[in-house]
Amino acid sequence: MRTHYCGQVTETLIEQTVQVAGWVHRRRDHGGVIFIDLRDREGLVQVVVNPSADDNFAKAEKLRAECVLSITGKVIARSDGTINPNMKTGKIEIVAEQLEVLSMAEPIPFQLDEKNVGEETRLKYRYIDLRREQMQGNLKLRYAITKSMRRYLDSNGFMDMETPILTKSTPEGARDYLVPSRTHPNKFFALPQSPQLFKQLLMMSGFDRYYQITRCFRDEDLRADRQPEFTQLDMETSFMTEEQVMNMMEGLAKTLFKEAIGYEFGYEFPRMTYAEAVQKYGIDRPDLRIDMQLVDVADLLQNIDFKVFAAPAKDPKGRVVALRVPNGGSLSRKDIDAYTKFVGIYGAKGLAYIKVNDIQAGLDGLQSPIVKFFPEQVMEILSRVGAQDGDIVFFGADSAKVVNDSMGALRCKIGEDLGMIKERFKPVWIVDFPMFEADEAAARMVAVHHPFTQPKATTEEILNHHAPEQMLARAYDLVINGLEVGGGSVRIHDTKMQAAVFKLLGIDAEEAQEKFGFLLDALKYGCPPHAGMAFGLDRLVMILGDIPSIRDVIAFPKTQSAACPLTEAPGLVDNAQLEELMLRFRKPQLVAEK
């Protein structure tokens, strides 16, 4: 039904006859001549229907937006006054010789150029939403990225291999989506949160370098950058150290940016330890485009009478930091109140500040409600943070977690509000993560990444519980613009070490065998050292395309409540299906009235 895409008909085809097909983007009647902008995935082309073509003209008069046509006609040059320099096809038009209506369209629920369409409506009519130029561009970018991924990995000896979707439930940090088995009554499959164990088994099988662009599933609360089902580029290698894996994956990232959007990094990505990231930025995924850091000042405030600062300064689990905002002295009281409310979201009880009007005037040159509580320490604090005239210094004082969360978020918020982001992309490798952390609710240790990550410790140290909170993991994350786009680690390839890690995590031998017996058995029969990584494809597309919502880089995403307005999933099933699965409905338990 066509010889060319609409967006490919250019001046090189003048005087040739072409056949194009697509949707009516716009129809205009100019004094008896009808102009149709015909659209397909490659762009627009203008079609002219003259009144002399009686049958074609009669058809064209009845058209509305989004009707589907096939048009055959001659390509001619536009006159000088009608050339559209903003269109790839703007120097030509097609004079219709034959017009075939392939499908008429009813009035659509929203116009493609309409700006304020509700997301629920967009998702309900996703097939129309996807016709918009922006959405077409987003998904083309996604395709360009995946194509570049495959080309890079194929050229580096990786093999594309599939792993199961129906698998066994294993603890990976979020709830599993469970699938009841009809042939095994009362038993369940789980949809994979990642192919972690299978890709390790592939290394034990001798395939050396594996990759897969795969769907993963997590039944967790949604955010702007999360979906219940998502896509990741999953990789695993044998006989490579973490440095070698990181270097190869950095090469992949640079290739993606260059081939997909033409952006080149002229430097090696910096490395930063987890401890340094949290100390300077309050978070393990810092946005380095913002040139501000948290500065510890607890040592200067332990002996003051102002308990708001002194108490957390003395507490081993507390933290007191200062955040200097260059030229932030222009912030109004209203602005400061808004930031105080903002940090409250993260548990902060308030937001102290000092405005630096004239640092040479000492205390008289400062504007603040807190200076009077520690006048002897103020100037040393300002010196430590490098304060200058016109700056404002904010303070956070609370438990380390509250301070890190609130002040780390405030740093990014202020950076965005004051236009402090100057660079387009700023990557960093975060390394030396903690291997374990305490789960106070469960009164046990948990793995920060996952229990198959190799710690920087011996098996004996793990068995002896030798300061597990201080053990580091051979793990690494790639962070770009404050978003974790990829993470990985060196895996445990020794049976005794894996058993020791399980034991430290409170998983006894019987439970370990029940949940991970296939892995423990495989480790016994010759397992190579191996390491891997996974990139979040959806997040990568968001970053490369500067797209604010993850739902705009996925063809058919879910809503914030993990529902699909288009298909109305999830939905009810009939009792016959449930009986086959030996399941039945349970009514929600009502809360008793007090």
Could you give the CA distance from residue 464 to residue 461 in angstroms, rounded to a whole number?
A: 5
Answer whether 539's CB lies under 8 Å from 142's CB: no
Could you give the CA distance from residue 517 to residue 500 in angstroms, rounded to a whole number?
A: 14
Query: Binding residue per annotation — 538?
Result: yes
Query: Binding residue per annotation — 460?
Result: no
Question: What one-letter code names the amino acid at 298?
Answer: A
Determine the straight-line distance between the first and last CA of the chain, rounded to whole angstroms. Answer: 70
Query: Binding residue per annotation — 201?
Result: no
Query: Binding residue per annotation — 55?
Result: no
Answer whether 489's CB lies under 8 Å from 449's CB: yes
Give buried/exposed letters for 440-450 (b at 16+ CB in 10 A, else e): eeeeebebbbb
Q: Is the peptide bond before 565 cis (omega within 30 degrees of 0)?
A: no
How many alpha carbons fall within 13 Å on the CB side of residue 579? Answer: 3
Query: Binding residue per annotation — 537?
Result: yes
- Tokens representing 347 are 């548990």
Query: Which H or E run includes 477?
Result: strand 475-480
Q: Helix H segments across 156-241?
A: 196-204
Give the DSSP letter string of 281-344: HSSSS--TTS---EEE-GGGTTTSS-HHHHHHHH-TTEEEEEEEETTGGG--HHHHHHHHHHHH
Could you give the CA distance from residue 110 to residue 67 in angstroms, rounded to a whole number?
A: 15
CA distances from 55 to 25, 96, 152, 277 (A): 21, 11, 53, 70
Closest to 255 in 3D by CA, of 267, 243, 265: 265
Question: What one-letter code names the amino acid at 490?
Answer: V
Query: Binding residue per annotation — 539?
Result: yes
CA dihedral sign, ordered 277, 278, 282, 283: positive
Query: Binding residue per annotation — 220?
Result: yes
Could you give the CA distance from residue 18 to residue 74 in angstroms, rounded to a whole number?
A: 6
Query: Binding residue per annotation — 40?
Result: no
Query: Binding residue per annotation — 132?
Result: no
What 3-state DSSP class applies to 453? strand
- Tokens representing 276 are 């340094």
Query: Binding residue per annotation — 491?
Result: yes
Could you give the CA distance from residue 140 to residue 138 in angstroms, rounded to a whole number?
A: 5
Query: Binding residue per annotation — 405?
Result: no
Could you give the CA distance from residue 71 to residue 2 in angstroms, rounded to a whole number?
A: 8
Could you give the CA distance from residue 494 to residue 526 in angstroms, rounded to a whole number?
A: 9
Query: Binding residue per annotation — 449?
Result: yes
Mark the binding-site residues for ATP, compressed into ranges: 218-220, 227, 484, 536-539
Mark the binding-site residues, compressed into ranges: 172, 218-220, 227, 449, 484, 491, 536-539
Mark the binding-site residues for L-aspartate, compressed into ranges: 172, 218, 449, 491
